[in-house]
């Protein structure tokens, strides 16, 4: 691995530096501050004399879940961008969103009325994993030479197909549209500690795998041929990272709904402010993504207080202009 590191640091296209002490402290401070704001601010004011049991049971799980989901979406987005060498990739590239949305729709229409509160998260998780498996199989069928581009096209195909099936079901069950749209737009207002414990193991393991492959992502950014010459098994590394990012993302959306742009905004902010090396982008995205979504959740529950705005609306409002900026910057760098 020392030879790989030396060759990587000598390459002109990658700024292979780890996390500086200053960047690490600032990001950690941002996360801690966000958590404190998330616990303190909301439609219901908790004064100094509030019963800590109420705070722990009502607001703490919402903040904890937002942090877990935000961190996972951000680190998964950074991983996908590294694997596919495309700054516009996000965690939903291979069909996670479409599969999760279809699974949740099926559960809401056919299972949730039976009082099975676990059916929607389970169905969305299975749908997300199933969609990515089919997408990966389709992309792999063209061969290793064109696999990267084929995976992207297969992901678009899967998203289109699942959206068509979902619309077909919705049209035949208009009485369920409000519940379906509420899930699709994402949110944490009904979060419980049970939701946190369900998704936490997947997110922790997935994040750990991606963190362990942050140096490999720097090597992959040089290109498949260069990575192979440095002793990296490109196919195995790509599969490992994609599986980890997919499992974590599927677990996150199963309990939060679909929340867009986190996986694009956060990694690019890290690249602009700190470093382009994945040795810095990956760990900092994890913590910054957690803090970002906690603050977005604060806006969601206060902007139309006492109502709750879907968090997907908040992130889309912030993310759409940023996405356009990234697209323009990517074009200018060609």
How confident is the model at residue 114, as a pLDDT? 47
Q: Give the mean pLDDT of 28-45.
A: 85
Look at residue 317 and tell me whether its pLDDT is greater than 80.
yes
3-state class (DSSP) for residue 99: helix
pLDDT at 49: 52
* Residue 12's pLDDT band (cuts 50, 70, 90): very low
Quote the pLDDT of residue 137. Answer: 87
Stronger pLDDT, 28 or 152, i.e. the higher one: 28
pLDDT given at position 44: 63
Q: Is 307 helix (H, G, I), strand (E, B) or coil?
A: coil
96 pLDDT more than 90: yes
> What integer is the mean pLDDT of 37-42?
84
- How many Å apart are CA 293 and CA 153, to the nearest integer? 29
d(CA 128, CA 246): 8
Give the pLDDT confidence score for residue 333 in this predicted structure.
46
Instruction: Tell me the per-residue pLDDT of 198-241, one tens digit each, with 9 for 90 and over.
Output: 999 999 999 999 999 999 999 888 877 787 887 888 888 988 99
How large is the average pLDDT for residues 259-286? Answer: 91
Output the average pLDDT for the chain: 84
| Residue 19 predicted with pLDDT over 80 | no
**What is the rounded average pLDDT of the residues 28-37?**
94
Confidence of residue 327 (pLDDT cuts 50, 70, 90): low
**Cα–Cα dist 262/87, whole Å:** 13
pLDDT at residue 178 in the model: 86
Q: Tell whether the model's pLDDT for residue 155 goes beyond 80.
A: yes
Q: What is the mean pLDDT of residues 80-95?
A: 88
pTM for the full predicted model: 0.87
Q: Report helix, strand and coil shares of the chain as percent, to nearest 5.
A: 75, 0, 25
Per-residue confidence band for 185, with pLDDT thresholds at 50, 70 and 90: confident
Q: Which two tokens stand for residue 110?
A: 């056919």
Helices (H), 192-310: 193-212, 214-220, 224-229, 234-256, 262-273, 278-302
The tens digit of pLDDT for each residue in 122-145 reads 999 999 999 999 998 888 777 665
pLDDT at 10: 47
pLDDT for the residue numbered 215: 92
Name the fold adopted by 2-332: ABC transporter involved in vitamin B12 uptake, BtuC (1.10.3470)
Cβ within 8 Å of residue 271, ≥6 positions away: 281
């Amino acid at each position: 691995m020392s030879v790989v590191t030396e060759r990587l640091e000598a390459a002109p296209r990658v700024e292979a530096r780890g996390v500086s002490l200053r960047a690490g402290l600032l990001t950690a401070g941002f996360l801690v501050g966000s958590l404190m704001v998330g616990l303190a601010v909301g439609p219901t004011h908790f004064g100094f004399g509030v019963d800590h049991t109420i705070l722990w049971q009502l607001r703490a799980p919402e903040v904890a879940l937002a942090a877990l989901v935000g961190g996972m979406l951000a680190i998964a987005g950074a991983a996908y961008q590294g694997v596919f060498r495309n700054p516009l990739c996000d965690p939903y590239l291979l069909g996670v969103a479409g599969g999760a949305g279809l699974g949740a729709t099926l559960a809401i229409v056919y299972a949730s009325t039976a009082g099975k509160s676990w059916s929607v998260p389970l169905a969305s998780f299975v749908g997300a994993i199933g969609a990515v498996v089919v997408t990966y199989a389709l992309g792999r069928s063209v061969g290793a030479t064109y696999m990267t581009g084929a995976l992207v096209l297969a992901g678009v195909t899967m998203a289109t197909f699942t959206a068509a099936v979902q619309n077909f079901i919705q049209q035949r069950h208009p009485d369920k549209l409000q519940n379906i749209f509420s899930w699709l737009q994402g949110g944490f207002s009904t979060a419980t500690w049970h939701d946190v414990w369900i998704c936490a193991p997947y997110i922790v393991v997935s994040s750990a795998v991606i963190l362990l492959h942050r140096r490999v992502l720097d090597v992959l950014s040089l290109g498949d041929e260069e990575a192979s010459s440095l002793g990296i098994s490109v196919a195995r590394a790509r599969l490992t990272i994609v599986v980890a990012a997919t499992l974590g993302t599927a677990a996150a959306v199963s309990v939060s709904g679909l929340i867009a742009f986190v996986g694009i905004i956060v990694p690019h902010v890290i690249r602009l402010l700190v470093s382009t090396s994945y040795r810095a982008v990956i760990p900092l995205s994890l913590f910054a993504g957690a803090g970002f979504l906690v603050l977005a959740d604060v806006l969601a529950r206060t902007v139309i207080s006492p109502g709750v705005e879907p968090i997907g609306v908040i992130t889309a409002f912030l993310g759409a202009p940023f996405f356009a900026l990234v697209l323009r910057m990517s074009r200018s760098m060609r």
